[in-house]
Structure 1
């Protein structure tokens, strides 16, 4: 069944490759000095704008965990002379869309606006970024929404597993704790803490920009100066690299449920590592989303131990993970853990086959073009490329880099990347026959 899928992907690639080649990135510098990447597309009269401020929730001050995340939910709850309702009505009246989010490494702004309303939408967004109100009633309301989410997280085994793994892996670094904060830390946050988080996270010295749609380079430059020119020059200092404190073994968190959630992994690779492309291929073979991935085949198809299992390279700004996840009934967890350990050891010593390499290359190169499905995704991809320090021609050269990966590269990198004796399993549930280790 898999070969017809590969053939279909090859056909898709042949059809969309010309369109992909037409994704021409312009490097734009505004009169005020803001740098951005732009893909012009005047076919539809709207523009997608993606802005990232480097730092994110990692900038939270000691004892103020969750401040940046809470701020992200408050920044359009009123700005300038507009209260929360007034701001929402103004935004909706322009048919504009603004989204704000705070991740571990970035504070993100996503905006979409019609060409006819571009200037008014930019003025409104600039108001949110430079003059947010943080009214106390809005702080209290959004804080309660965050606290409600945190209460739900305390009952979610997947969240518990993820946070336990991070705490084991990253010591006293911000990565070790949830960016949303804790019930205690969020409850204690004041309006002054929110203002401090805003001033620390949103500044001109850490901004990365991608735009796609119905806008020229000249007009984008003017818009960026209007939008970002009123921001402070510098923000809060970023923390240093995350320490690596994860030890091998098995951790069990008791949770009353008929099945367990399992997170597993060890240290990964940086995105700029010369071996990243080979590692990317290896991960797709080991635990990618297809049913042909080794762990899906060995854990699910052959043995019926889980419904699904996957692995992920997670290169962050200040640390990197190689992470996997699955769920299984309590009586099957121990067997599934053993299969993962065995497959980890097998790929480390044997690498992969020529057929696996060829099929994975076909899939990864064929599916790449499908990501460029509109102005929004294109703007987001360009921001991601800049954050990863990739050149503007990466879209055109990415598949060639994958095709250049050889079986010898893969075998060498497999020995470097996969360490079965370094794996830590965090199991949340009541697994049978599984002995925790220190």
Structure 2
């Protein structure tokens, strides 16, 4: 996914409108061969690391759904010679911070540490990643927390809608089920399952690293070998591509509430598709989340059918969607669905106006520099860029690529991407005028 480098580092200088100074991204290869992108900033004695292990919860083995999620929750519950309490006290005593999260396609580690005790903090992080204890009392405590999440999601109409759509769309692929697992699968997980999940995910062949702050390229290389060098070279095979199995229509899940939640989708577009930027601008115009979008204007402002509606590009690694979400009172849901289908159809047939295009570009380019508001955010952006296979100069060229999109590009991609007849709506509630048997 990431090109091999022949030297220690190369650099790209990136200037964004709205930023006070240039961002210099250095491509670093550690002595042990671990690659990272770095933005040096010596103004504060602090460094942020984002370490991502690609594959994430989609690497759950068959019959052990939720293993990677539960394992991730245990990484800060004791390591090497320290139990959970001792580990937490050691991290706090150094004014360091570690966050471990898992998603469909990646397990992410965000580390924040002071320069003065950087090596000692790195040793703690190394122990958490390479020598987690998986003590039985910690397993049962975190298992209980996960089961509470699952129980809560079973009563949450938003979560029910998402889970139903994913199950219908992706079937037996890991995308088709919640990464937390089910009550039954989580209850059945053993310590051996967690050790196997750890070995499957935490390996050097799927790691990307973003770093920002008070550290040089040479120091970062040594630090990465210190933290990650003892991980296995290879983990489990990456997931297969997911087959999208859903056709157009409506599914109603009965839920006793005066309001319904609706999610909707059809197949989407990959991040590396040549038409991605026109699709990106198209989505902003259609339902990008502000009041200038077609969906907000037509569904909320003009008709008062909802407080909010938005569309999205779902850019998961092994299967993509385009869709959206809204909620409305039960008596208005059917009309809102009809209006959304009409807007989908109108954009596909007629494209966008010059005014819509310029407003979308202005928003997308103007908002982008605001993301770079600290070393922690920058480290995460650098890791995400690598995970998505972006070039090192992406930050500098991104707004130019948005600006280059024409109305004809959007019209062409809308005709390719928007398929109103294939939109499938999942509605959770007791909507009027929609048959719950569908």
TM-score interval (norm. to shorter)? over 0.9
1:230 corresponds to which residue?
230
2:90 corresponds to which residue?
90
C-alpha separation between the residues in 1 aligned to 2:198 and 2:235? 9
C-alpha separation between the residues in 2 aligned to 1:25 and 1:437? 55
What SS class does the counterpart of residue 43 from structure 1 fall into? coil
Write out per-residue CA displacement over residues 278-330 of structure 1, whole angstroms, 9 at most, x where no aligned residue: 00101001111211111011111111110000111011110001120000000
2:308 corresponds to which residue?
308
Are positions 1:247 and 2:260 aligned together? no
Please list, as runs of the form range in 1=range in 2, the aligned pairs for 1:276-287 lying within 5 A after superposition. Answer: 276-287=276-287
Are positions 1:272 and 2:272 aligned together? yes
Instruction: Give, in angstroms, the shift of residue 19 of structure 1.
Output: 2.6
1:11 corresponds to which residue?
none
Is contact 2:154–2:160 with CA below 8 Å preserved after alignment? yes
C-alpha separation between the residues in 1 aligned to 2:319 and 2:207? 21
C-alpha separation between the residues in 2 aligned to 1:272 and 1:135? 42
C-alpha separation between the residues in 2 aligned to 1:411 and 1:54? 34
1:396 corresponds to which residue?
396
C-alpha separation between the residues in 2 aligned to 1:18 and 1:295? 30
Q: Which runs of 5+ in 2 are unaligned?
A: 1-14
Instruction: Give, in angstroms, the shift of residue 244 of structure 1.
Output: 1.1
2:190 corresponds to which residue?
190
TM-score (norm: length of structure 1): 0.95
1:121 corresponds to which residue?
121
Is contact 1:21–1:396 with CA below 8 Å preserved after alignment? no
C-alpha separation between the residues in 1 aligned to 2:163 and 2:250? 15
Please list, as runs of the form range in 1=range in 2, the aligned pairs for 1:156-175 lying within 5 A after superposition. Answer: 156-175=156-175
Write out per-residue CA displacement over residues 44-102 of structure 1, whole angstroms, 9 at most, x where no aligned residue: 11011000001101000111000000011101100000000000000000000000011
1:323 corresponds to which residue?
323
Are positions 1:405 and 2:415 aligned together? no
C-alpha separation between the residues in 1 aligned to 2:285 and 2:104? 28
C-alpha separation between the residues in 1 aligned to 2:276 and 2:302? 30
CA distance 1:16–1:54, shift in 2 (3 Å)? closer
1:378 corresponds to which residue?
378
Please list, as runs of the form range in 1=range in 2, the aligned pairs for 1:55-204 lying within 5 A after superposition. Answer: 55-204=55-204
Q: CA-atom RMSD, angstroms?
A: 1.1
TM-score (norm: length of structure 2): 0.95
Is contact 2:253–2:436 with CA below 8 Å preserved after alignment? no
Question: Hey, which bits of structure 1, 4+ residues long, moved more than 4 A?
Answer: none
C-alpha separation between the residues in 2 aligned to 1:243 and 1:359? 35
Pairs aligned (count): 424
2:414 corresponds to which residue?
414
C-alpha separation between the residues in 2 aligned to 1:20 and 1:278? 29
Write out per-residue CA displacement over residues 316-359 of structure 1, whole angstroms, 9 at most, x where no aligned residue: 11000112000000000000000001000000001110011011
**Which structure has the highest helix share of the two?**
1
What SS class does the counterpart of residue 24 from structure 1 fall into? strand
